[in-house]
Amino acid sequence: MVEEGKPAPDFELPSDSGERVRLSSLRGKPVVLYFYPKDDTPGCTTQACGIRDVYADFRERGAVVLGVSPDDEASHVKFKEKYSLPFTLLADPEHEVAEEYGVWKERNMYGKKSMGIERSTFVIDSDGNVAKAMRRVKPDTHAGDVLAALP
């Protein structure tokens, strides 16, 4: 389980641009690592567009924003283009990183149990430590909540 004050688990995942992103390569900058269930669904779109709308504030703070879901790169490209998302989306189709961060959970959707991502965000400081772990975040207040948590 990922804990505040402890090093964030390193990983490398493919991005919407086709490049691979390694968390440890971003040291020196705060990182907003947010996990969301699925591209182009109502809650996930609200969440992503909320970040998009205040992205300049994240940039002012020097923060790198990374969105992670089990969707593949092609899905991320469509989602990013459709909503003009200015930040990087990472593909975790085998949910290895989601499991490592403790956000791959059993969910009860419409009376049916299934495994999926629990909407969660980790603010990682410039030294690579978890400054804030935010679980079960609300899509409509997410961006403001994360900005308030940035060191």
Mark residue 150 as left, alpha or beta (left: phi above 0; alpha: psi -120 to 50; beta: remaining): beta
- Dihedral, CA of residue 126, residue 144, residue 106 and residue 21, to nearest 10: -40
Q: Is 44 a catalytic residue?
A: yes
Distance CA 86, CA 105 (A): 28
Catalytic residue chosen out of the listed positions 44, 51, 98, 124: 44
How many residues would you count in the chain? 151
Task: Report residue 49 as tokens.
Answer: 């567009």
Q: Helix, strand, or coil here: 139?
A: coil
Contacts of 147 (CB under 8 A, 6+ apart): 54, 57, 58, 61
Distance CA 77, CA 89 (A): 8
The residues carrying an active-site annotation are: 44
